[in-house]
Amino acid sequence: MNPWSMILADLRSLKRVGAVIVLLVAVAVAVGIALGAQERAFRRASAAAADDFPLVVGAAGSPTQLVLSAVYLRLEALPLMEGEVLRRLGADERVAGVAPIAFGDVIHGHPLIGTTADFASRWGRLKPIEGRMFAEEGEAVVGAAVKIAVGTTFEPSHGHAGGEHHALGEEDVDEAKHVHAETHYTVVGRLPATGGPWDRAVMAPVENVWETHGLGNGHEGEDHIGAPFDAEKLPGLPALVVKPKSFAAAYQLRAELRGKGLAALFPAEVLVELHQLIGDVGEILKIASAVDDGLVFLAVTTLFVTIGGLRRRRYATLRALGAPRGYILATVWGGAAILVALGCVGGLALGWAGARLVSEILGAQSGLVVPVSLETPDFLWAGAVFLAGSLFALVPAFLAGRGRIVDGLAG
Amino acid sequence: MPNTAAVPEAPAERLTLDRIAVVHTRKGASPFTSLAIDRLDVPAGRSLGVSGPSGAGKSTLLHVVAGLESPSAGSIRWGETRLETMGEGARDRWRRAIVGFVFQDFHLVDELSIFENVLLPARFASFRASAEARARAGSLIERVGLADPQRRAAVLSRGERQRVAVARALIGRPRLLVADEPTASLDAENGAAIADLLIEATREIGATLLVAAHDRALLDRLDRELRLVAGRPVAEDAA
């Protein structure tokens, strides 16, 4: 038995209806694929962005806000902790590195972050792809995505970056009104892309940022930048990044700092909560998309049953010419299965494209690079949809072979 | 089950109908007898025309003979094979091996070429159409007078379509060719050509020919005529 030529004939006669069926199935599949791929990609990207932030310390307050500000640069005014914490941690032997994160200024829409050269290079991991790391006050390095050329000199403004109508690389009215005319920075280097929001930041010595705001330079009159910060009175700080020497040290430090009324946390802790929330929402969306798929299958199956009814005479003719019931079943099922299979393949492509689009939007908003890829679960999902679809297709196939041939011939 | 007839080279057999009745019972209506034939005998390789007004049971008779419809009573035999006792699958196989069918309205698959339409029945049973079947399809298409086997059925004229249908009915070397009003949808010229084809082609392969028709010219060229009125034979004249 070879129903292939009849399957092709049936598909040809469907014309646009066939395309509509493929599209319906493709959209149904794509929603599930896009959700899964996007969720997975977002988890990875958000986790990767937190890699260089082993322990984040801030004044007591919202730990989520602390992580969002320090790691993801969703900058909001944080309560300040005493600068003394920085000096103490800098002297602690369990600490491999500690860096202040001071923000509040903006340049051409990019946040200006005051920190140490050590942290700007991510504890030595990042080598500038252009120019060099800042080495003295008045110098700055930019993240890979910053639209300021190396060699440019700029004056920062007081204010927050990333306002809704504030395009990157442009100076808006608000920014122009609050220029710190007495401070100048020259961009001396550009860092490689990390895929995180810090790619959009301009980093400068924290001493500079303090001085701009009349807070001293954090040192005992010396003219160097970076640790140790040994001034009698250190300025208050919104956040510190601490790199402990060991896991044990990390937990000890976290406990001790918390004991002193500070917020100290591993960004991973907040991420776990965040991911759980995303997971829960994702779960609900996936159930909704599965219900959606069920409805699409119901509609498509009904369509196939209707088409089978319209082709009653055609199939009765084949039976009269000697075709066994199985031939009719295989013809109808094969045609439906091919359309569903095409829909599943189309759905994989469409889902991937959809997830990419969401990534672009997310990336534009957050600076998080969220690379989307199709992986085993996506193919399994498409496969499961195909399997379900081909089971559904048995219904019209059985119905088409049913009934008396003579009734079918009568039309 | 005697299935010797399935061998392509087997000869046609005698067709015998014995006390055949087809009774339709519909809910809310009294039973209606659409066919009642006491005895009908068609010797192997002969032709029989079935005439009569519309609704006289001509198609029903053809359907019963082709194994498409089971009689309510009586027996129908093809040689030693008893059709009324067969299961559906066996009847499908018997029909595939023995019967060729030509319809009034051709019933071609419009989306397929002439060649694929003719070859279609060869694909019911085997995955690959044999080289022999393909060659046979080609020569049948030539035999019925069609030039380009790759033309789509949809673009053919009525006369051409019925030629394709005849070639399709002949692809399986049928021992029994059943034609239901094969010329009724055609003009006189094409009707005559199709009548020629049916009669000559069945004679060539020694098959039995059963034709339901109004077409006097066609009926007169067949060996015998069975006239049905209200499902019953009224006269049978041997030609």
Tens of pLDDT, residues A276-332: 888 898 889 888 888 888 899 899 999 999 999 999 999 999 999 989 999 999 999
pLDDT, tens digit (0-9, with 9 covering 90-100), for B184-231: 999 999 999 999 999 999 999 999 999 999 999 999 999 999 999 999
Instruction: Evaluate whether B16 touches B76 at the Cβ level (below 8 Å).
Output: yes
Q: Looking at the predicted structure, is the pLDDT value of residue B96 above 80?
A: yes
- Chain B contact set for A4 (CB, 8 A): 123
Number of H helices, E strands in chain A: 14, 11
- Chain A contact set for B168 (CB, 8 A): 321
Range of the domain at B86: 13-234
- Smallest CA–CA distance, residue B47 to chain A, in Å, is 20
For residue A321, give the chain B residue with the closest CA: B101
Candidate from A40-44, A173-177, B94-98, B203-207 with smallest mean pLDDT: A173-177
- pLDDT number for residue B17: 94
- Would you place residue A171 in the very low, low, confident or very high pLDDT band (cuts 50, 70, 90)? low
- Would you place residue B7 in the very low, low, confident or very high pLDDT band (cuts 50, 70, 90)? very low
Rounded mean pLDDT, B10-31: 86
- pLDDT number for residue A211: 84
Q: Is position B5 within any domain?
A: no
pLDDT, tens digit (0-9, with 9 covering 90-100), for A336-379: 999 999 999 999 999 999 999 989 998 888 888 888 889 998 99
Residue (of B69, B102, B222) closest to B174 by Cα position:
B102
Domain boundaries, chain A: 4-47+273-410, 55-265
Q: Looking at the predicted structure, is the pLDDT value of residue B61 above 70?
A: yes
- Would you state the torsion angle of the CA atoms of residues A88, A90, A92, A94, taken in this order, to the nearest 10 degrees? 140
- Would you place residue A163 in the very low, low, confident or very high pLDDT band (cuts 50, 70, 90)? very low
Distance, CA of A286 to CA of A320 (rounded, Å):
47
- Smallest CA–CA distance, residue A313 to chain B, in Å, is 8
- pLDDT number for residue A209: 86
A214 exposed, middle or buried (CB, 10 Å; 0-12, 13-18, 19+)? exposed
Backbone angles phi, psi at A304, to 5 degrees: -65, -40
Residue (of A9, A28, A74) closest to A315 by Cα position:
A9
pLDDT, tens digit (0-9, with 9 covering 90-100), for A214-243: 787 778 766 678 777 877 778 889 999 999
Q: Provide the 8-state DSSP code for B152.
A: B
Amino acid, single-letter form, for residue B159: G
Query: Are B125 and A1 inside 8 Å of each other by CB?
Result: yes
Domain count, chain B: 1
Q: What is the CATH number of the domain that holds B37?
A: 3.40.50.300
Q: Is position B48 within any domain?
A: yes
Q: Residue A27 half-sphere exposure, CB side, CA atoms within 13 Å?
A: 10
Query: Are B68 and A405 inside 8 Å of each other by CB?
Result: yes
Of how many residues is chain A composed? 411
Q: Provide the 8-state DSSP code for A296.
A: H
Q: Looking at the predicted structure, is the pLDDT value of residue A15 above 90?
A: no
Q: Check residues A168 and B49 and name the one with the higher pLDDT.
A: B49
Pairing between β-strand B232-238 and β-strand B224-229 as defined by DSSP bridges: antiparallel
Q: Is position B6 within any domain?
A: no
Residue (of A210, A196, A242) closest to A112 by Cα position:
A210
Rounded mean pLDDT, A96-116: 90
Query: Are A314 and B109 inside 8 Å of each other by CB?
Result: yes
- Would you state the torsion angle of the CA atoms of residues A306, A308, A310, A315, taken in this order, to the nearest 10 degrees? -170
Task: List Cβ neighbours of B205 (8 Å cut-off, separation of 6 or more).
Answer: B170, B173, B174
The token pair that represents A98 in the structure block = 């500690």
The token pair that represents A196 in the structure block = 């995180």
Query: Are A6 and B92 inside 8 Å of each other by CB?
Result: no
Q: Is position B188 within any domain?
A: yes
> Which residues in B have their CB inside 8 Å of a CB on A?
63, 66, 68-69, 88-89, 92-93, 95-97, 99, 101, 103, 107, 109-112, 116, 119-121, 123-129, 168-169, 172
ipTM value for the complex = 0.90
For residue B118, give the chain A residue with the closest CA: A321
Q: Residue B121 half-sphere exposure, CB side, CA atoms within 13 Å?
A: 31
- pLDDT number for residue A169: 63
- pLDDT number for residue B59: 93
Of A1, A9, A10, the CB nearest to B124: A1
Percent of chain A with pLDDT over 70: 94
